[in-house]
Amino acid sequence: MLTLVLLVILAALIFEFINGFHDTANSIATVVATKVLSPMKAVMLAAIMNLVGALMGTAVAKTIASGLIDTNVVEVTSQVILCALLGGIIWNLITWWKGLPSSSSHALIGGLCGAALAAAHNNPNALIWSETVGDWTKNKGLLWKVVLPMVTSPVAGFLLGMLIMVLLWALIAAMAKAGGVLARLARPRWVNAFFGKAQIFSAAYMGYAHGHNDAQKTMGIIALTLFAAEANGSLNDLPAWASFLHPAGSDADIATWIVITCAIVMAMGTAAGGWKIIKTLGHKMVKLHPINGFAAETASATILTTAAHFGMPVSTTHSISTAIMGVGYAKNPKALKFTVIERILWAWILTIPAAGGVAYGLLWLAQKMGWA
């Protein structure tokens, strides 16, 4: 059984690596599209900031580990988690191959839900749908931690991106009207030069936010694996070299080695890049200038860090895509390319059920073959 636990951890780290080159492409798309940084420099910046962000909290990891699946109803075995991961990985690879910026977060959550339902023989109580504890920020369940953020974060991304863009233009217009030095600084050449530098900081902020939110999801999966393995006796009589696998504390605690390992693996995945999705986000939706990229990255990163603070596994893809849309809409509603947006929306809608369906099918097949 130890071998199976290690296999699940390996699969989780593979998912984290794929998440790195799949989702981080989204986080650096704007800084590449505006030509402020070359793809290589942008990827390296994102990798470093992903690492920093991933080390800065575990609220999202705790949600994944203990806030979505009711372990009193369904036994979360290593096979269940492995199928959940495979469901997410397969869907991620399909969308990456097609160049579609779907959500790795929702692929993972969909896979986890699908596998849990299969393990529970379609008992819906295997999923924590909604669990209120007074303070809404501490509520558990799919409603509070997945559905509401999934709906509100794209809207917030669009509105915040549009708002920041409008405010920046209003500031530049006021400077131009003031005359003198301020008017000279409001000229396009100076504006592009300033935001070309400022966007490096907003891109770093975006990389940090991505690591802070996304890296934690795999931390939660590994923690859930170890909690379940400890409960069913799979970690009994571990050899000395593997003693670190024993969970420390309650099911809300994430071991330090898990945090560090996931942070490093995501940074490595980031370094592998993901140009196809960068191209879709940065070029095909709307033409961007440095000021536009700054607004989109700042809006998206703010949403991600806020969500991570409350333990909400929000999609980096959704937040940056809709922030770009908001910036584009503020610039010119006709500048948005709705055919591309339609493809992205379909990928969003399909992600949770598709990944869940794959995971469900894999576990069902494993059960039929006596492997689970």
Predicted local confidence at residue 252, as pLDDT = 58
How many angstroms separate the CA atoms of 170 and 178, rounded? 12
Q: How confident is the model at residue 343 (pLDDT cuts 50, 70, 90)?
A: low
Q: How confident is the model at residue 179 (pLDDT cuts 50, 70, 90)?
A: confident
Q: What is the mean pLDDT of residues 180-189?
A: 90
Predicted local confidence at residue 1, as pLDDT = 72
Q: What is the mean pLDDT of residues 99-124?
A: 89
Q: What is the mean pLDDT of residues 350-368?
A: 94
How many angstroms separate the CA atoms of 316 and 302, rounded? 11
Residue 222 has pLDDT above 90, yes or no: yes
How many angstroms separate the CA atoms of 204 and 307, rounded? 18
Q: Which residue has the tokens 């296999």?
A: 7
Q: What is the mean pLDDT of residues 301-308?
A: 94
Higher-confidence residue: 25 or 208?
Answer: 208
Residue 6 has pLDDT above 80, yes or no: yes
Q: What digits encode the pLDDT tens for the residues 127-138?
A: 999 988 777 777
Residue 122 corresponds to which tokens in the numbers above? 């379609």
Q: How confident is the model at residue 248 (pLDDT cuts 50, 70, 90)?
A: low
* Secondary-structure breakdown of the chain: helix, strand, coil percentages, each rounded to the nearest 5: 80, 0, 20
Report the C-alpha dihedral over residues 49, 55, 61, 65, rounded to 10 degrees.
140
Q: Where are the domains of the chain?
A: 2-368
Cα angle 130, 134, 135; round to 5: 95
Residue 184 has pLDDT above 60, yes or no: yes
Residue 278 has pLDDT above 70, yes or no: no
Q: What is the mean pLDDT of residues 260-285?
A: 69
Q: How confident is the model at residue 110 (pLDDT cuts 50, 70, 90)?
A: very high
Predicted local confidence at residue 258, as pLDDT = 92
Residue 115 corresponds to which tokens in the numbers above? 């596998």
Predicted local confidence at residue 246, as pLDDT = 87
Give the percent of the chain with pLDDT over 70: 90
Do 91 and 18 meet the contact criterion of CB atoms below 8 Å apart? no
Residue 305 corresponds to which tokens in the numbers above? 């860090």
Predicted local confidence at residue 362, as pLDDT = 96
Q: What digits encode the pLDDT tens for the residues 32-61?
A: 777 788 777 887 888 889 889 988 888 899
Residue 308 has pLDDT above 80, yes or no: yes
Q: What is the mean pLDDT of residues 4-14?
A: 92
Residue 105 corresponds to which tokens in the numbers above? 């977060």
Residue 351 has pLDDT above 70, yes or no: yes
Residue 277 has pLDDT above 60, yes or no: no
Predicted local confidence at residue 272, as pLDDT = 75
Residue 282 has pLDDT above 60, yes or no: no
Q: How confident is the model at residue 297 (pLDDT cuts 50, 70, 90)?
A: very high
Q: What digits encode the pLDDT tens for the residues 61-96?
A: 988 988 899 988 998 899 999 999 999 889 878 877
Predicted local confidence at residue 274, as pLDDT = 54
Q: What is the mean pLDDT of residues 246-270?
A: 82
Which one, of 123, 103, 100, 121, lies nearest residue 111 by Cα? 103
